[in-house]
Amino acid sequence: MTQATQSIDGGPTGARHTRILIIGAGFAGLGAAIRLDQAGQKDFLVVERGSEVGGTWRDNTYPGAACDVPSQLYSFSFAPNREWSRSFSGQPEIQAYIRKVALESGVLDRHLFDTEVTGAEWDAAARIWRVETDRGPITADVVVPAVGALCEPSLPAITGIEDFAGTVFHSSRWNHDEDLTGKRVAVIGTGASAIQIVPAIAGKVAHLDVYQRTAPWVLPRADRKYTAIERLAYRHLPGMTRLARAGVYALRETQVLGLTRIPSALKPLQLAAQAHLRMQIRDPQLRAKVTPDFQIGCKRMLISNNYYPALARENVDVVTDPIREVKAHSIVTADGTEREIDVLIVATGFHVTDSPMFDLIRGTDGSTLAQSWDVAGMRGYKGTTVPGFPNMFFLVGPNTGLGHSSMVYMIESQINYVIDALATMDREKLASVEVRPEPVAQFNDWIQQRLSTSVWNTGGCASWYLDKHGNNTTLWPGHTFQFRNATRTFDVTAYDTVPVSAGAADRNLEETAS
């Protein structure tokens, strides 16, 4: 694909200036760039540390990588994909869609790839963000972090792992040069990535050990190829795509009651998962090992038709004893058992509530975002703005995650909010907007009150949805259309504002002093 290769050319201060700086070119960052362009906000720049668009779907190229959200929901509403080949799409097809949208959108001329942000600080006097990258400085009136929640691999703190003499890599940084054929392999983790990796490699390795800390609930994957007639209809009848999307959306929203208000309503799903387990694993000892001890929905519900059969293979062992240490050629568990391996695959998720990006952004008092959130955890207003960080709009921020539907819908809702915020700033001639602490407190009190009855808080499990304080700062506790309504317009009354004239006066004073 064609991509921008220009250097960061600065003015007298050496910094390139843009009105809006977007950090990240995944679904969120690319979507923001396209919608800003469509809204007439042409002065923006997207910086991306990778070599192309795609984010999560660019990085996660492990065998079997696929989406667990139906294809019809997993595209931008303003750029529907009429070429999906199946009901649940794989990584190559999703990445191809993102590339195609990027190429056709006309916004790649404002992308800087292979450019990593190393710091960002609010300049209160000049009313701008000063951003450092490994290719030089940038200043911006508005910053939109769109780095996503599933971008920074989380590595386990296991004694001796750094001394392992074989090959070790995280699932999201797959080593395609490592041929697993005939090797002894260990996979640590049984989450969404692991249940796709294990079936994809079990048939080629000599032996596979799957280290399970917590057994997940696994539902059947209703995946199938679309028929030729269906593909023709989706391609040539736009109404078919819209109808299918609406149907899938409505069906997914039916899960919200059980997830957020009445967990007992999820009982039919749990019965279906139990039946799926009984049908696919006949060995009672193995079945007992992989039977969850918490209510379905408490942790992410997974879907697979081949995970359980892979675990039942003769060359696969499920290990539930905790890992004590990793040696040069083996893993030792707490019971003293030593299992030799050649390759170690770490599928232990991501830094969701403690992203390293939080350490790089400094607000009005010089504190980093990580420091601001250290005491009470991640807190934002409508998942998008944070007190002490003016003119910063997070995409996929606190409590915007979902346990049932497509994050693309939530991303588009937040983009609507950002676009209306910019329009409000233009209309009312505002140099900066900063959400006040009171609306944030009220909003988060409502969030936590709603979450108190959710299956994520009452289902008897510990999950990556919870931060170090035990608070669920990750998920949205309601229907997605409620979030869409909440972010439809920018409520400027919740913000402290500074007019452009004041901002200009401050800049003049700063320039005079210098």
Co-location of 325 and 404 in the same domain: no
Compute the distance between CA of residue 313 and CA of residue 291 in angstroms, rounded to an integer.
17
Q: In what order do the strands lie in the sheet with 16-23?
A: 111-112, 44-47, 16-23, 136-145, 128-133, 117-123, 361-362
Rounded to 5 degrees, what are φ and ψ at 111? Answer: -115, 135
Position 513 pLDDT exceeds 80: no
Co-location of 91 and 209 in the same domain: no
Write out pLDDT tens, residues 143-163. Answer: 999 997 767 777 888 999 999
Domain extent for 192: 161-224+231-346
Which of 293, 326, 346 is where one domain is finished?
346
Q: How many CB atoms lie within 10 A of CB 202?
A: 23
Co-location of 379 and 262 in the same domain: no
Does residue 247 sit within a domain? Answer: yes
Co-location of 355 and 330 in the same domain: no
Write out pLDDT tens, residues 193-212. Answer: 999 999 999 999 999 999 99
Q: Which of 116, 74, 78, 113 is nearest to 95 (CA)?
A: 74
What's the pLDDT at 512? Answer: 40
Compute the distance between CA of residue 289 and CA of residue 273 in angstroms, rounded to an integer.
15
SS3 89: coil
What CA–CA distances, in Å, run from 208 to 66, 330, 343, 376?
21, 13, 10, 41
Compute the distance between CA of residue 425 and CA of residue 406 in angstroms, rounded to an integer.
30
Co-location of 355 and 317 in the same domain: no
Compute the distance between CA of residue 140 and CA of residue 123 in angstroms, rounded to an integer.
10
- Mean pLDDT check: name the lowest of 282-296, 408-422, 442-456, 463-477: 463-477
Long-range CB pairs of 501-510 (<8 Å, 24+ gap) are 501/429, 502/431, 503/126, 503/127, 503/431, 503/432, 504/431, 506/124, 506/125, 506/126, 506/127, 507/125, 507/126, 507/127, 509/125, 510/125, 510/126
Co-location of 106 and 217 in the same domain: no
Q: Which of 346, 351, 348, 320 is nearest to 334 (CA)?
A: 320
Write out pLDDT tens, residues 87-138. Answer: 999 999 999 999 999 999 999 999 999 999 999 999 999 999 999 999 999 9
Co-location of 117 and 56 in the same domain: yes
Compute the distance between CA of residue 380 and CA of residue 397 in angstroms, rounded to an integer.
7
How confident is the model over 305-316, as a mean pLDDT? 98
pLDDT category at 467 given cuts 50, 70, 90 is confident
What's the pLDDT at 8? Answer: 59
Helix and strand tally (H, E) in the chain?
A: 16, 19
Distance of alpha carbon 429 from the chain centroid: 34
Does residue 454 sit within a domain? Answer: no
Compute the distance between CA of residue 378 and CA of residue 303 in angstroms, rounded to an integer.
29
Does residue 67 sit within a domain? Answer: yes
Position 241 pLDDT exceeds 80: yes
DSSP state of 192: T
Does residue 427 sit within a domain? Answer: yes
Position 9 pLDDT exceeds 70: no
Contacts (Cβ under 8 Å, ≥6 apart) of 281: 287, 290, 308, 311, 312
- Mean pLDDT check: name the lowest of 3-12, 89-98, 499-508: 3-12
- Is the four-CA dihedral 443, 445, 447, 450 of positive or negative sign? negative
Q: Which of 199, 168, 221, 435 is nearest to 307 (CA)?
A: 199
CA angle 42, 44, 45 (to 5 degrees): 140
Rounded to 5 degrees, what are φ and ψ at 290? Answer: -100, 15
Which of 311, 346, 381 is where one domain is finished?
346
Does residue 388 sit within a domain? Answer: yes
Q: Residue 287 maps to which CATH number?
A: 3.50.50.60
- Helix (H) or strand (E) holding 280, with range, is helix 267-280
- Is the four-CA dihedral 197, 200, 203, 206 of positive or negative sign? negative
Co-location of 360 and 483 in the same domain: yes
How confident is the model over 235-249, as a mean pLDDT? 94
Does residue 6 sit within a domain? Answer: no
Compute the distance between CA of residue 279 and CA of residue 320 in angstroms, rounded to an integer.
22
What's the pLDDT at 353? Answer: 65
Co-location of 383 and 238 in the same domain: no
Better pLDDT: 168 or 349? 168
What CA–CA distances, in Å, run from 438 to 121, 307, 443, 444?
24, 47, 9, 10
What is the average pLDDT score of the chain? 93
Q: How many domains does the chain have?
A: 2
Co-location of 236 and 358 in the same domain: no
Amino acid making up residue 272? A
Q: Which of 456, 477, 478 is nearest to 299 (CA)?
A: 456
Compute the distance between CA of residue 23 and CA of residue 46 in angstroms, rounded to an integer.
6
Q: In what order do the strands lie in the sheet with 316-319?
A: 167-170, 343-346, 184-188, 207-211, 316-319
Write out pLDDT tens, residues 30-88. Answer: 999 999 999 999 999 999 999 999 999 999 999 999 999 999 999 999 999 999 999 99
Rounded percentage of the chain residues whose pLDDT exceeds 70: 94
Does residue 464 sit within a domain? Answer: no
Co-location of 494 and 397 in the same domain: yes
pLDDT category at 355 given cuts 50, 70, 90 is confident
Position 486 pLDDT exceeds 80: yes
pLDDT category at 215 given cuts 50, 70, 90 is very high
What's the pLDDT at 502? Answer: 60
Compute the distance between CA of residue 370 and CA of residue 366 in angstroms, rounded to an integer.
12
Compute the distance between CA of residue 11 and CA of residue 387 in angstroms, rounded to an integer.
31
What's the pLDDT at 1? Answer: 41
Q: DSSP string of 388-450?
A: T-TTB--SS-TT-B-SSS-HHHHHHHHHHHHHHHHHHHHHTTEEEEEE-HHHHHHHHHHHHHH
As given in the structure block, the two tokens for residue 240 are 């078919």
Which of 331, 346, 361 is where one domain is finished?
346
What's the pLDDT at 193? Answer: 96
Rounded percentage of the chain residues whose pLDDT exceeds 90: 86
Co-location of 139 and 179 in the same domain: no
Does residue 457 sit within a domain? Answer: no
Distance of alpha carbon 333 from the chain centroid: 32
